Amino acid sequence: MSELKVHDRAPDFELIGHDGETYRLADYRGQPVVIMFYPMDFSAVCSEEHACMLDAMSQFNRLEAQVFGISVDHKAAHAAFVKQKGLTYPLLADFHPKGAVGRLYGVYLEDKGF
């Protein structure tokens, strides 16, 4: 899929979260959803990106928005990252098939593997 445009319907997905729960985008239709794709847990840049998301959480909470972080890391890596960084939103594993949801959204970088 090519890059999404404003007012495009977000492609549906079903992924496992760091908590072992299954998350389906369709379950949040009618509610604001923020999807943050990022390369990998524990990298310096991604750690900074998540710090920015935590800083913005009060704004997302006021909008009653559901925030999701998505990367190709396994749910176990996500669980450790959530604990280390004190994240308050689910991290979803686009792990197998690797990058399938990222491809739907046009953000998976095949040559880099994330």
Output the CA angle 108-99-15, nearest 5 degrees.
130
> What angle do the packed helices 75-85 and 44-62 form, to 10 degrees?
70
Catalytic residue among 15, 16, 25, 46, which? 46
Catalytic (active site) residue 52: no
Q: How far apart are CA 109 and CA 112, in angstroms?
A: 5
How far from chain centre, in Å, is Cα 39?
10
- Cis peptide upstream of residue 97 (ω within 30 degrees of 0): yes
Just list the catalytic residues: 46
